[in-house]
Amino acid sequence: MTQLTDVVDGTGPDAGAAHRRRFAVAGFAPRHDGRARERGKELRGRVPREAHARFTPAADRPTAVEAIETSNAGRLGGLVPIRVGRMAATPFAFLRGSAGLMAADLAGTPVTGVSAQLCGDAHAANFGLYGDARGQLVMDINDFDETVPGPWEWDLKRLATSLVLAGREIGASETTARRAAAHAAGSYRRTMRTLGRLPALDAWNAVADERLVSFAKAHDLAEVLQKVGAKALGNTSARFAAKNTVREADGSWRFTAAPPVLAELPYALAAAVAESLGRYVATVPAEVRTLLSRHQVQDVAFRVVGTGSVGTRSYVVLLTDHRDQPLVLQVKEARPSALLPYLARAGHPVAEPEQHEGRRVVLGQKHMQVVSDTLLGWTSVHGRPFQVRQFRNRKGSVDPAALLPGQLDDYARITGALLARAHAHTADPGLLAGYCGKSEALDEAIAAFAVAYADRTEADHADLVAAVRSGRLPSEPGV
């Protein structure tokens, strides 16, 4: 009689049969799908890659001013003029603040039906450096306010469009700007092919480190990244606190107001934000709770952030440890993704309503990044959802509108590669590699779309400027 131990040890007569079995385990693929690349190629028959060049505004498309007024709903009214002023600065700045309007336009464009976790706002300024738990710098997407599962094409088209607008802003030729958009798509395509060939674990853990410059053939950008990295290493909570806090007579620390960017809060609201950190602690891993327990809250202030986020509620919380060393957390309001209303129109299945928008942002970020802020979590203040993260965790950004025209291609290839790696966490890289293919057909189509949509954005920006001049939209430029 064969003993169970014989089969387990591989010594019994049924051992071979045991080794040939396949196990169906919840959460694991029942068997490896080796046809992903072929299935990707088959998608070209339904959605030719050349079709992605098309952009025709819908007849019922809202005007730029209408879209801005709609997106201002629920924001703090006193800060809306700052948001308008920032968006009115340039067409690229307008794009940065109008993710919802672009999503409405993208809803009418061709999609393959392949879903990925989207950044939702993958313009070229939302990539940058930040520190991991050990203070080492990595480069990745760094803004996830609009993150949601959706068509992978939407992120790629937004990135390509932003590169065309950035190129025009820095005085690059139209050929150079269009080529940057094509190179972003080409880098996305080639990175998917590389990831599709790797073992799943290696592809999942592909980290954007110093090898990224060589992989993306972005050597002309190496010096820029070194300078940004050197600056980012000093961009910490301690430095922010040193510039923006003062010690009181009783030994406590307080933020020093610098309105309208950094403002004091009424005590009741500051107390509510501080109290919400108790709920936040429950959303982080156990070991992080231990770390946080070694700090005490000193002060809370309001701080204006971003372009698209201006007017939302955003607080900074000053904490100190037993040696009076500061840690600053950002508690930032999480509104529903601006993409959400347009997914169904694009034929994309819409998930169940998110129970907490802060949780959506945090989990979406963790789905897309290899290395995320260890302090990420979420909470609620007066019933409103918020995300919580470390403030100034060695963040550094490349401003694409400040590059030299000859550096735009390099930056395009880096961001295209980073976007592909982020999408590959939730979309099969083999499937997308099969669709994208080896030729430049997709690259040229994405570039054509980017040029057309950049033209549309410039017209929208002109409408916004006219509305500011006429007094329809209040504006505070330069804040």
DSSP symbols for 104-149: HHHTTS---S-EEEE-S---GGGEEEEE-TTS-EEEEE---TT-EE
The verdict on 173 and 218 lying in the same domain is yes
Residues ≥6 apart with Cβ < 8 Å to 474: 80, 81, 84, 468
Would residue 374 count as lying in a domain? no
The verdict on 14 and 49 lying in the same domain is no
Would residue 149 count as lying in a domain? yes
Confidence of residue 5 (pLDDT cuts 50, 70, 90): very low
The verdict on 99 and 219 lying in the same domain is yes
The verdict on 209 and 86 lying in the same domain is yes
Would residue 321 count as lying in a domain? no
The verdict on 24 and 46 lying in the same domain is no
* Inter-residue contact 126 to 141 (CB < 8 Å): yes
The verdict on 19 and 51 lying in the same domain is no
Q: Give me the residues paired with residue 389 across strands.
A: 330
What's the pLDDT at 21?
66
Would residue 60 count as lying in a domain? yes
Distance (Å, whole) CA 458 – CA 101: 13
In which residue are the tokens 């034929």 written?
347
Q: Which domain holds residue 437?
A: 40-232+403-470
Would residue 447 count as lying in a domain? yes
Could you tell me what percent of the chain has a pLDDT over 70? 93
* Domain count of the fold of the chain: 2
Residues ≥6 apart with Cβ < 8 Å to 186: 413, 416, 440, 443
3-state secondary structure of 93: helix
Would residue 163 count as lying in a domain? yes
What's the pLDDT at 314?
96
- In this structure, of 30-39, 243-252, 364-373, the range with the lowest mean pLDDT score is 30-39
What letter would DSSP give residue 348?
A: P
The verdict on 70 and 215 lying in the same domain is yes
To the question of pTM greater than 0.85 for the whole model, the response is yes
The verdict on 8 and 109 lying in the same domain is no
What's the pLDDT at 207?
65
pLDDT 10s digits, 305-332: 877 889 899 999 999 999 999 999 999 9
> Which amino acid is residue 294, in one-letter code?
R
The verdict on 90 and 5 lying in the same domain is no
- From residue 180, alpha-carbon distances to 305, 413, 416, 439, 458 in Å are 28, 8, 10, 17, 18
The verdict on 84 and 132 lying in the same domain is yes
* Inter-residue contact 163 to 408 (CB < 8 Å): yes
Q: Within 10 A of 266 (CB to CB), how many other CB atoms are there? A: 8
The verdict on 25 and 64 lying in the same domain is no
The verdict on 22 and 49 lying in the same domain is no
Would residue 353 count as lying in a domain? no
Residues ≥6 apart with Cβ < 8 Å to 303: 261, 262, 263, 314, 315, 316, 330
Would residue 382 count as lying in a domain? no
